[in-house]
């Protein structure tokens, strides 16, 4: 590694308390010196500024773990194809990044800092460029997909059936990112809610997020016939189809989509039993129950347990009910485990199951942010005291 990680960390430590100002300066510098690049970004830049800082921080944190760093950069490079990123864009980004760091480091910035960050960006950008170039030529950067059916599954949940314009190769358990002309260049991740189908269609389950630009459009406004853009399939929370072990899946909310895809594949294979604990905050929050019943009727080796507290119970009651259900499972040491749901579900349930004897190597779930606060900090102190990870960035981790 040609650059000194300690120098990079020292420079980042100086500016991170002014991170919001730094990222605003970065994009102003980038767009001023490269006007054509602005069209690659969404109209509202708040989230994009979070993306930049999260990516920089994640790279610096992984400097002592080359294997994880290489995997992360490769995932970013492949994923940036859908944004229209080209090799010639990377030097411009590097120049604006260094200009921003230099501006906010002030008198602490030295030639040593500039050398280290220049070398680091050269390595980072080349890794991303190489990863994008290594994608097979016949693999699209994105897919156009028509919305062929939209079903309101709950007041705040819609199930969309999409027909991609080219075959979309995915493994049950993976997710995709998508965007809509109704919220241009705003991408969000959604689990694929079905096993591969002969007609090439696929489902995504969308819950409306308060003030969510894309989720609100998908749940309330999008109609059949509209076109969405899909990024490549992502995620490593998939099962080994050769494994003889029974499956234990715990799903909460729209986490059912990911579990449903995996269970549909198991039903086709018909080789091993599966137990699904389907959790909700209330009976009304359970959705897609017709599909649940159909799977249970079709697959004799599937058991589904619905878990929901009494109406008007608080969150603690729902959590307690889940842990009570887990305790009744008995020996879980020989099971493959899949966890999917709200950000706090996987860590808590994984810890509980490992305590009950589950093998940590057999517990799978998508990456979970350390925090899930989407509000923006008001001051530098807010940013420093309460770090905010951004869910739709961190999920790239296992791409």
pLDDT in tens, 73-129: 998 899 899 988 999 999 999 999 999 999 999 999 999 999 999 999 999 999 999
pLDDT at 1: 53
Task: Measure the CA angle with vertex 338, ends 337 and 341; round to 5°.
Answer: 140
Give the Cα separation of 275 and 102 in Å (integer). 55
pLDDT at 397: 39
Give the Cα separation of 345 and 128 in Å (integer). 32
Residue 302: φ, ψ to 5°:
-105, 130
User: How many C-alpha atoms does 252 have within 13 Å on its Cβ side?
Assistant: 22
pLDDT at 103: 93
> How far from chain centre, in Å, is Cα 181?
21
Residues 160, 150 contacting (CB under 8 angstroms): yes
SS3 of 267-309: the string is: HHHCCCCEEEEEECCCHHHCCCHHHHHHHHHHCCCEEEEEECC
Residues 224, 151 contacting (CB under 8 angstroms): no
Strands (E) in 70-209, as ranges, are 143-154, 157-164, 175-180, 183-191, 202-207
Give the Cα separation of 346 and 398 in Å (integer). 15
Residue 145: φ, ψ to 5°:
-135, 130
Give the Cα separation of 127 and 121 in Å (integer). 10
Q: Which residues of the chain have pLDDT under 50?
A: 371-374, 376, 378, 380-385, 389-399
Question: Strand, coil or helix: what is 219?
Answer: helix
Nearest CA among 49, 31, 32 for reference residue 40: 31
> How far from chain centre, in Å, is Cα 229?
16
Look at the alpha carbons of 69, 72, 75, 81 in this order and tell me if their dihedral is positive or negative.
Answer: negative
pLDDT at 370: 52
pLDDT at 241: 86
Residues 308, 282 contacting (CB under 8 angstroms): yes
Give the Cα separation of 144 and 228 in Å (integer). 6
Nearest CA among 13, 11, 29 for reference residue 101: 11
DSSP at 232:
P
pLDDT at 28: 92
What confidence tens digit (pLDDT) does each residue in 29-61 have?
999 999 889 888 887 777 777 777 778 877 887
Nearest CA among 283, 288, 231 for reference residue 259: 288
Give the contacts of 130 (CB within 8 A, at least 6 positions apart). Answer: 77
pLDDT at 250: 94
Domains of the chain: 5-135 (1.10.490.10), 143-230 (2.40.30.10), 247-364 (3.40.50.80)
In sequence order, what DSSP letters do the residues of 302-363 get, joined into one string?
Answer: EEEEEE---TT--HHHHHHHHHHHHHTT---TT-EEEEESSTTHHHHHHHHHHHTT--GGGE
pLDDT at 395: 45
Give the Cα separation of 251 and 343 in Å (integer). 11
Report the mean per-residue pLDDT for the chain: 86
User: How many C-alpha atoms does 394 have within 13 Å on its Cβ side?
Assistant: 14
């Amino acid at each position: 590694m040609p650059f000194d990680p300690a120098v990079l960390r020292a420079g980042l430590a100086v500016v991170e308390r002014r991170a919001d100002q730094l990222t605003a300066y970065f994009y102003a510098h980038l767009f001023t010196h490269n006007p054509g690049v602005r069209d690659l970004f969404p109209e509202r830049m708040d989230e994009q500024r979070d993306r930049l800082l999260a990516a920089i921080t994640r790279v610096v944190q992984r400097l002592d773990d080359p294997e994880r760093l290489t995997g992360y950069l490769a995932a970013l490079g492949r994923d940036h194809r859908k944004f229209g990123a080209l090799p010639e864009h990377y030097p411009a980004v590097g120049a604006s990044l260094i200009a921003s760091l230099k501006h906010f480091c002030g008198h602490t910035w030295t030639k040593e800092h500039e050398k280290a960050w220049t070398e680091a960006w050269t390595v980072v950008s080349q890794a991303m460029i190489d990863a994008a170039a290594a994608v097979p030529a016949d693999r699209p950067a994105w897919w156009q997909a028509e919305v062929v059916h939209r079903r309101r599954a709950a007041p705040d949940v819609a199930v969309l059936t999409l027909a991609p314009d080219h075959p979309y190769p995915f493994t049950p358990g993976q997710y995709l990112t998508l965007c809509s002309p109704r919220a241009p260049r705003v991408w969000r991740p959604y689990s694929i809610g079905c096993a591969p189908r002969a007609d090439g269609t696929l489902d995504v389950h969308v819950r409306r997020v308060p003030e969510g630009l894309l989720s609100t459009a998908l749940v309330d406004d999008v109609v059949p016939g509209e076109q969405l853009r899909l990024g490549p399939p992502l995620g490593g929370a998939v099962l080994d189809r050769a494994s003889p072990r029974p499956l234990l899946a715990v799903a909460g909310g729209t986490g059912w989509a990911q579990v449903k895809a995996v269970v549909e594949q198991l039903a086709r294979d018909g080789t091993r039993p599966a137990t699904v604990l389907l959790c909700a905050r209330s009976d009304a929050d359970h959705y897609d129950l017709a599909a649940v019943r159909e799977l249970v009727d079709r697959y004799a080796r599937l058991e589904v347990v619905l878990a929901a507290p009494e109406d008007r119970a608080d969150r603690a009651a729902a959590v307690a009910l889940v842990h009570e259900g887990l305790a009744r499972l008995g020996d879980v040491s020989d099971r493959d485990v899949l966890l999917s749901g709200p950000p706090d579900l996987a860590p808590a349930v994984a810890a509980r199951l490992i305590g009950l004897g589950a093998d940590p190597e057999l517990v799978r779930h998508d990456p979970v942010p350390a925090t899930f606060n989407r509000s923006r900090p008001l001051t530098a102190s807010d940013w420093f005291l309460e770090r905010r990870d951004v869910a739709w960035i961190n999920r790239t981790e296992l791409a």
